[in-house]
Amino acid sequence: MIFWCVCVCLHYKRLCSFENRNKQGQTRLSSYYEWLNMDERVALESEIIRKCLSRSELQCSFVEYRGFKVIYRRYASLFFIVGTKADVIAGGGAENNENELGLLEFIHTLVETMDKWAGSICELDIMYQLEQVHFLLDEMVMNGYVLDTNKSNILRPLDLIERESKKGDGVFR
């Protein structure tokens, strides 16, 4: 089960006197499939983001953190981070985890779908069309489980929904 899915935009922040660059991330999209309190979310996000950003590209895309297995993937300045259940000690028998590679592929599918939807996805696309991105994600993941991975299956209803909601949305309301 995917517990949450966060998309983070990476910024480089220049500290005034020093020349070193400080990586900073800002959440652009977040979706939670289990109930977390607001402050828990904020704390979790900031910690996870810091952890992921601090890792170099040579390191693997899995971080174990607070009982979550965090799987992330970076696309230019966008980080897609997915949290899932951590490994049980090997040999735990019937415990199912999400397949880590599967989730990596899922992230990739998500990005490809977004690309197809917005041309070439960038931070601003997500920022200004947050709702649609949410719906896109909802078409792919529901309740923590992958719903569909077929791009056309995902995008068709998205268009229809968009058209439907614009219906009667005239200038004069």
Partner 1 sequence: MFEKTLTDVVKGIRASKRNTALYISQCIAEIKTEINSTDLFTKANALQKLTFLQMMGYNMSWASFATIETMSSPRFGHKRIGYLAASQGFNQNTDVILLTTNTLKKELRGAVGGGMSGVYEAGLAINCLSNIVTEDLARELLPDLTNLTSHPQPYLRKKALLCLFKLFVKYPQGLRLTFSRVQQCLDDTHPSVISCAVNVITELSDKNPRNYLHLAPAFFQLLTTSSNNWMLIKVVKLLGSLVPEEPRLARKLLDPLATIVRNTQAKSLLYEAVYTITLSLPYARKADGSMPASMPSIVALCAETLKTFVEEQDQNLKYLGLVGFGSLMVSHPKVLSSPDYRPLVLACLSDEDVTIRTRALDLLTGMTTRKNLRELVTQLLRHVDLATGEYKSDLVAKIIEMCSGEKYALLVDFEWYLDVLITLAYSQGIEQHGDLISGQIVDVALRVLPVRAYAVRRMADVLLDGTGRKKQKGLLEKEEDIMMDGTTRGECVMPEILPGAAWIVGEYSHLIETDSEIQYDVMSRGTYHSIIQAVMAPSNVDNILTSTQSVYVQCGMKVLAAASNAGKKCSDVELEACAETLTKSLPVFMQSVDVEVQERAFTSYHLLTSLGIIKASSLDGDNAFAPGLTPLDKEEEDESSEEESEEENAEGDLLDLVGSRPPASSNIKKTKKPSSSPATINSDLNLIAGGTLASRCRDVSKTLQYLLTPDPMKPVSAKAQRKKRLSPPTSLKLDLDAPINMSIFSSLLADERAQFGIGGGKLSIEAVSFTQQRPMRPADPTPVDTSFILSDSASTPNSGLVNNSNASQSFQHSGMTPQQRPQNQNQHDPFYLNSASPAMVEGTAFGSDPVQQSQTGQQPSSRFGTIQLVDGDDSDDDTHGRHKKKKKKHKKDKKQRKKDDIGLSFGDADFAALSGATEKAKSIPHATAALADLTVYSSEDDGDNDDNLLSMKPSAASKRGARSNEFKGLAKVDLTTPLRDDEVMPRNEHRVVPEKTVEEEESLGEEHGKKKKKKRKKEKKEKKKNGKKEEIETASIPSTATGDLLDFGGILSDGGAPTSSAAPTATPAPAAHPINSAFDDLLGLTAELAPTLPLAQPEEGIQGFTPIESPATKPLSSKKVGKSRVWQRGTIKASHAKQVSVSGGGRSFDWGNVSLEYRTQHAKAKGGGVGSALVILRVVNNTPDTALQNISVLLNGMDDPISLGDRVNAGSAVESNGKIGPFSYSASSPSLEIKGSLRLSGWSVPIKLTLPATMRLNPVAGLSLDAVMGELSANRWESHSAKVEVTSGLETAKAKSVLGSFLRAEEVDGGSSAHGTFASQTNAGTQVRVLIKVKESAGVANTVKVDIKCTDGQLCKSLISDVKKIIL
Q: Which residues bind partner 1 (CB under 8 A)?
A: 1, 27, 29-38, 40-42, 45, 55-56, 58-64, 66-67, 87, 90-91, 93-96, 99-102, 104-105, 127-128, 130-131, 134-135, 138, 142-143, 145-150, 153, 157, 160-161, 164-169, 173
Least distance from C-beta 75 to partner 1, angstroms?
16
CB 113 within 8 A of CB 126: no
Q: Which residues pair with 63 in a beta bridge?
A: 70
Cα–Cα distance list, 50 to 56, 86, 100 (Å) = 12, 19, 21
C-beta of 128: minimal distance to partner 1 in Å? 6
- Of 15 and 94, which CB lies nearer to partner 1 in the complex structure? 94
Query: Residue 114, Cβ neighbours under 10 Å: how many?
Result: 27
Nearer to partner 1, 65 or 116 (CB): 65
Q: Provide the minimum distance between the beta carbon of 39 and partner 1 in the complex, in angstroms, as a whole number.
A: 8
Nearest distance in Å: CB 20, partner 1: 20
For partner 1, the closer CB: 75 or 135: 135
Shortest distance in whole angstroms from residue 36 CB to partner 1:
6
* CB of 50 or CB of 66, closer to partner 1: 66
